[in-house]
Amino acid sequence: MPAPFPTGTILGYPRIGRRRELKKTVEAFWAGKITVDELEATATSLRAATRERLASLGLGRTDSSIPSGFSYYDHVLDAAVTVGAVPTRFQRLVKADGTIDLAGYFTIARGEGADTPAEMTKWFDSNYHYLVPEIGPETNFHLASDRLVREVAEATTSGFRTRPVIVGPITFLLLSKPSEGAPDGYQPLDSLDDLLPVYAELLAALTAVGAEWVQFDEPALVSESIEVPRDVVLAATKKAYDLLSAVPVRPQIFVAAPYGPLDDALPVLVGTPIEAIGVDLVKGDLPSGISTDKTLVGGVIDGHNVWRGDLEAAFASLESLRGLSPNVAVSSSTSLFHVPHDVDDEPLLADQLKSWLAFADQKVGQVATLAVGLSLGRAAIRDELDAASAALEDRHHAAGVRDGAVRARAAALTDADFSRGDYATRLQAQDDALHLPFLPTTTIGSFPQTGDIRKERAALVSGAISTEQYKQAMRDEIKRVVDLQEEIGLDVLVHGEPERNDMVQYFAENLDGFAVTQNGWVQSYGSRCTRPSILWGDVSRPKPITVEWSTYTQSLTAKPVKGMLTGPVTILAWSFVRDDQQLRDTANQVALALRDEIEDLEAAGIGIIQVDEPALRELLPLKKKNQPDYLDWSVGSFRLATAGVKDRTQIHTHLCYSEFGVVIDAINRLDADVTSIEAARSKMEVVPDIKSSGFARGIGPGVYDIHSPRVPSVEEVSDLIDIALGSIPERQVWVNPDCGLKTRGYDETVESLTNILAATRAARAARVGAGV
């Protein structure tokens, strides 16, 4: 008899390690400090520790409730390597038996020599970045990696029966891009018939090592931001799961669809022979209009935020789900890799705040509690439900959650507070004030965060040095960065942000209404981890934050220096934000705090101020009906922050790893004077969108992919500049890297920026030679 689906489970768990062990080990492997065997040994240890931890928190050892979803870098890359979807330029990495080793896997992710890495973009409405597969008619799909199979077998030998997790075939193809050799009109979903036999082969291999259930993640089914027509997607979904269900000997299939409601995809899945369907009841309402005996797995524990939540309401949703199916289980709404490991591992957070929170371990405990309730009834978990309700009530009435002065200021806003003057007038005033050359060059903000900088910060925290000693060390680093930029020849300089540990956390530490963690790391991409701040109360700025550093930097040079701020939308997107009021209201509070900072920077003589919004696209709702409201308040909060300056003050913004064309109208409505965007890794794919939109203000499509250790050649940068100048009026074009340089080393940074300036000078000379 087939094994029943576990009553309680999670869709995934943090994979970086409680102390970022995976990050450190992977980076040591890249640096040649350890062997691949040592890397594999650390990964094996981490997987074993995760299994034991989840069992101790209430998940079962042998009922498939523990997911097997480990990744060395990215789960989409894992799927691509598993099915043999290796880009043509990396085919040299494929061995004679069709497999690819870990070194080759990392090369696809990071690039090598002239071979650029796979493109990277945001994973649905999260701050995680995935690597975009490249698929064409020439892609030779085959089972190229048995790593997932081996990890399931590894668990079995340790006394566990885990549930393997892989990106489902529909989402895999919908998130892919056509390869360079693909014909016009080709879509990766056209290759579904070629791909499905490989997934079928994988199912058989998983059965052979004892897997009773397999989890296919299909979040693309909840998104309306996919270019492929919806009817085509639904037809492909039915075809895929009819075929995979027909594999003679296979694990039972659980299709998880996080990040929103399935809507019209739910009856399609119900109509296939799969055994279980996951529905996100945090982002979506209770489904209606279906009746099934399949297991419906209710995602009622928020995997995307850190609040303890309303367990009473979550259990009520599960009980209502029983009206659609007699077989109901409970899960997290998404994988828990979006949240930190353990709130009890946060000694710096106030006890009251901690009582309102649930990190990954606490969420696993909540799932286990609700699973008991499903099995034994509400009375069996009454104490836990009451404790969660008491925490909600305490949070509602706590000091700082609501600030009358902040709310009164927001309530008094008028339309005039969201508008600047005419752009043509501003442009003339800025030209008169700044005197910038053709193709002005700049960087995005941060310079490499060296070990010495981190040591100084740690020494300040430990009390080994005084605040003044720390400030002097930072001033010394700023002078070094300014001198370097002067030597290279950049036109608009930055201070390099040595005093900032993170572009959001730094502001969170200086604004009321935020708290920061000590060990709350989450994966952003690859080995890159961040510590999102917790926005728990009304937001205000008690004193200036950046003015001292910007004015000191400007005193070192006659060239213009950019003041550097993080925008309100990105502060929200890269924080764990309160869930007890509308995001619009929270965004305006943050915007008002930033508006005060911007006006202080302007008064101090800073003529260019950059307000970064790399996350603007990230928070765009997956459902079209919700997008207009989001774009209205997100654009409005940026304008509220920046609209108080004079015409001569140039406002910049920056966006990275976003499908520019999807939100081009919103970017235009930001009304920034200059916008810099990620474009290098995609080789300026964004330029046609810029041209067709009629975007008329300054634009800096990036020419240096800072997420790879590759140094772009002068020729490569020149080609990118030529592409930009071929479609965008030359007056508008700026030259800059894709993003900040914090994660790069100084040697590669200096070489890359030097090449950028050489290419820019060549473009300027060509213009003069042409008599333009």
Distance CA 446, CA 740 (A): 5
Distance CA 326, CA 340 (A): 34
Other beta carbons within 10 angstroms of residue 425's beta carbon come to 12
Contacts of 717 (CB under 8 A, 6+ apart): 703, 704, 755, 756, 758, 759, 760
Q: Which long-range contacts (CB under 8 A, 24 or more apart) does 69-72 make?
A: 69/12, 69/13, 69/15, 69/164, 69/165, 69/215, 69/335, 70/15, 70/43, 70/46, 70/151, 71/15, 72/22, 72/26, 72/39, 72/43, 72/102, 72/105, 72/106
Strands 134-135 and 252-257, by their bridges, are unpaired
Closest CA to 106 of 26, 196, 39: 26
User: What pairs with residue 456 in β-bridges?
Assistant: none
Closest CA to 50 of 182, 185, 154: 154
Phi, psi (degrees; rounded to nearest 5) at 418:
-110, 10
129 has catalytic annotation: no
Distance CA 446, CA 431 (A): 25
Upper half-sphere CA count for residue 51 (Cβ side, 13 Å): 26
Given 75, 304, 338, 707, the catalytic residue: 707
C-beta separation of 574 from 615 below 8 A: yes
Distance CA 772, CA 770 (A): 6
Closest CA to 690 of 726, 654, 717: 726
Distance CA 633, CA 160 (A): 48
C-beta separation of 681 from 707 below 8 A: yes
Residues annotated as catalytic (active site), given as ranges: 707
